[in-house]
Structure 1
Amino acid sequence: MCSDKIAISVDNVSKCYQIYANPRDRLKQFFVPKVQNLFGRERTRYYDEFWALKDINFEIERGEAAGIIGRNGSGKSTLLQIITGTLTPTTGTVKTNGRIAALLELGSGFNPEFTGRENIYLNGSVIGLSRKEIDNKFDAIAGFADIGVHLDQPVKTYSSGMMVRLAFAVQVQLEPDILIVDEALAVGDALFQKRCFRQIEKLTSNGVTLLFVSHDQESVRTLTNKSVLLDRGIQRRTGLSSEVLLEYRRLLHEEENQYYANLTTDISERAQLEQETDVSEINIKPSEIESDGSPVVVLRSDKLSFGEGEAVINQVELYNESGDRVNVFNPGEVITIRIHFQVNRDIDKLNVGLRIRNKEGVKVYSWGTLNQDMQNISSGTDSELFWKRNFSAGVKEFVDLRFECTLGSNLYEVQASVSYEETPDYFSQKILHWRDEAAFFHVHILRDSYFFGGLTDLKMKAIW
Structure 2
Amino acid sequence: MSSDEYSIRVNGLGKCYEIYATPRDRLKQFIIPPIQRLVGCEPSSFCREYWALENISFDIRKGEAFGIVGRNGSGKSTLLQLITGTIAPTVGTVETRGRVAALLELGSGFNPEFTGRDNVYLNAMLLGMTHDEVDERFDKIAAFADIGDYLDQPVKTYSSGMLVRLAFAVQVQIEPDILIVDEALAVGDALFQKRCFGRIEKLLSDGVTLLFVSHDQESVRTLTNRAILLKGGREVSMGSASQVLLDYRKLLHQEESDYFSKLMQPAVETGQASASKPADSSASSEAETAPESNESSEKSQAPAVSGRADQMSFGDGGVEVVSVGTFGTDDEPCAVFYPGDVIRIRVNCISHIDTDSINVGVRIRSREGIKIYSWGTLNQDMQILAGLREGELFWKRQLKAGEQFHVWLECDCSLGSNLYEIQASISYEGKPDYTAQRILHWKDEAAFFQTLMRQDEYFFGGISDLHMAARW
TM-score, reference length from structure 2: 0.90
Code of the residue aligned with 1:332 in structure 2: it is G
**Shift in Å at residue 427 of structure 1?**
2.4
Equivalent residue for 2:260? 260
**Shift in Å at residue 291 of structure 1?**
5.3
Equivalent residue for 1:356? 364
**For residues 190 and 159 of structure 1, what CA distance do their matches in structure 2 show?**
16
**For residues 276 and 398 of structure 2, what CA distance do their matches in structure 1 show?**
24
Code of the residue aligned with 2:125 in structure 1: it is S
**Shift in Å at residue 377 of structure 1?**
3.4
Distance change >3 Å, CA 280–CA 143, structure 1 → 2: closer
Equivalent residue for 2:9? 9
- Residue 384 (structure 1) aligned with residue 382 (structure 2): no
- Residue 449 (structure 1) aligned with residue 425 (structure 2): no
Code of the residue aligned with 2:94 in structure 1: it is V
Equivalent residue for 2:282? none
Between Structure 1 and Structure 2, how many residues are aligned? 458
Kindly provide the CA deviation profile for residues 159-218 of structure 1, in whole angstroms up to 9, marking residues without a partner as x. 322221111111101100000011111222211111111000000000000011111111
**For residues 414 and 210 of structure 2, what CA distance do their matches in structure 1 show?**
35
Equivalent residue for 1:134? 134
Equivalent residue for 1:404? 412
Distance change >3 Å, CA 118–CA 331, structure 1 → 2: same
Distance change >3 Å, CA 91–CA 444, structure 1 → 2: same
**Shift in Å at residue 97 of structure 1?**
0.7
Moved more, 338-347 or 447-456: 447-456
**Shift in Å at residue 126 of structure 1?**
2.5
**For residues 151 and 389 of structure 2, what CA distance do their matches in structure 1 show?**
61
Distance change >3 Å, CA 51–CA 282, structure 1 → 2: farther
Equivalent residue for 1:299? 305
Moved more, 109-118 or 48-57: 109-118
Equivalent residue for 1:190? 190
Equivalent residue for 1:146? 146
Code of the residue aligned with 1:388 in structure 2: it is K
Q: Check whether the contact 2:11–2:57 (CA below 8 A) recurs between aligned residues.
A: yes
Q: Check whether the contact 1:341–1:396 (CA below 8 A) recurs between aligned residues.
A: yes
Kindly provide the CA deviation profile for residues 20-78 of structure 1, in whole angstroms up to 9, marking residues without a partner as x. 11111111111111222233333221111111111111111000011111111111111
Code of the residue aligned with 1:359 in structure 2: it is R
Equivalent residue for 2:25? 25
Taking the TM superposition and a 5 Å limit, the aligned residue runs for 1:185-224 are: 185-224=185-224
**For residues 392 and 368 of structure 2, what CA distance do their matches in structure 1 show?**
37
**Shift in Å at residue 95 of structure 1?**
0.4
**For residues 274 and 305 of structure 2, what CA distance do their matches in structure 1 show?**
28
**For residues 132 and 299 of structure 2, what CA distance do their matches in structure 1 show?**
79
Kindly provide the CA deviation profile for residues 209-230 of structure 1, in whole angstroms up to 9, marking residues without a partner as x. 0011111111111111111111
**For residues 439 and 299 of structure 2, what CA distance do their matches in structure 1 show?**
22
Distance change >3 Å, CA 48–CA 2, structure 1 → 2: farther
Q: Check whether the contact 1:69–1:215 (CA below 8 A) recurs between aligned residues.
A: yes
Equivalent residue for 1:40? 40
Equivalent residue for 2:332? 324
Code of the residue aligned with 1:404 in structure 2: it is D
Code of the residue aligned with 2:162 in structure 1: it is M
Q: Check whether the contact 2:298–2:354 (CA below 8 A) recurs between aligned residues.
A: no
Moved more, 345-354 or 90-99: 345-354
Q: Check whether the contact 1:268–1:282 (CA below 8 A) recurs between aligned residues.
A: no
Q: Check whether the contact 1:287–1:309 (CA below 8 A) recurs between aligned residues.
A: no
**SS, match of residue 132 in structure 1:** helix
Kindly provide the CA deviation profile for residues 365-412 of structure 1, in whole angstroms up to 9, marking residues without a partner as x. 211122223333333987733223222222222211111111222221
Equivalent residue for 1:227? 227
**For residues 251 and 218 of structure 2, what CA distance do their matches in structure 1 show?**
17
**For residues 153 and 11 of structure 1, what CA distance do their matches in structure 2 show?**
44
**Shift in Å at residue 2 of structure 1?**
7.6
**For residues 326 and 155 of structure 2, what CA distance do their matches in structure 1 show?**
57
Kindly provide the CA deviation profile for residues 242-286 of structure 1, in whole angstroms up to 9, marking residues without a partner as x. 1111111111111110111000113445xx4xxxx6798699886
Which stretches in structure 1 are left out of the alignment for 5+ residues?
Answer: none
Distance change >3 Å, CA 399–CA 174, structure 1 → 2: same
Code of the residue aligned with 2:60 in structure 1: it is I
**SS, match of residue 129 in structure 1:** coil
**For residues 75 and 348 of structure 1, what CA distance do their matches in structure 2 show?**
40
Which stretches in structure 2 are left out of the alignment for 5+ residues?
Answer: 278-288
TM-score, reference length from structure 1: 0.92
Equivalent residue for 2:433? 425
Q: Check whether the contact 1:67–1:212 (CA below 8 A) recurs between aligned residues.
A: yes
Equivalent residue for 1:370? 378
CA root-mean-square deviation: 2.5
Q: Check whether the contact 1:36–1:42 (CA below 8 A) recurs between aligned residues.
A: yes
Code of the residue aligned with 1:347 in structure 2: it is T
**For residues 294 and 260 of structure 1, what CA distance do their matches in structure 2 show?**
15
Q: Check whether the contact 1:291–1:345 (CA below 8 A) recurs between aligned residues.
A: no
- Residue 340 (structure 1) aligned with residue 331 (structure 2): no
**For residues 299 and 181 of structure 2, what CA distance do their matches in structure 1 show?**
52
**Shift in Å at residue 112 of structure 1?**
2.8
Within the candidate set 313, 326, 332, 2:321 is matched to 313
Q: Check whether the contact 2:328–2:344 (CA below 8 A) recurs between aligned residues.
A: yes
Taking the TM superposition and a 5 Å limit, the aligned residue runs for 1:38-77 are: 38-77=38-77
Equivalent residue for 2:286? none
**Shift in Å at residue 122 of structure 1?**
2.5
- Residue 251 (structure 1) aligned with residue 251 (structure 2): yes
Taking the TM superposition and a 5 Å limit, the aligned residue runs for 1:264-283 are: 264-269=264-269, 272=270
**For residues 274 and 373 of structure 2, what CA distance do their matches in structure 1 show?**
44
**Shift in Å at residue 430 of structure 1?**
1.6
**For residues 350 and 47 of structure 1, what CA distance do their matches in structure 2 show?**
51
Overall identity of the aligned pairs, in %: 59
**Shift in Å at residue 8 of structure 1?**
0.5
Q: Check whether the contact 1:2–1:95 (CA below 8 A) recurs between aligned residues.
A: no
Moved more, 90-99 or 375-384: 375-384
**Shift in Å at residue 419 of structure 1?**
1.5
Distance change >3 Å, CA 47–CA 127, structure 1 → 2: same
Code of the residue aligned with 1:193 in structure 2: it is Q
Equivalent residue for 1:96? 96
**For residues 238 and 280 of structure 1, what CA distance do their matches in structure 2 show?**
41
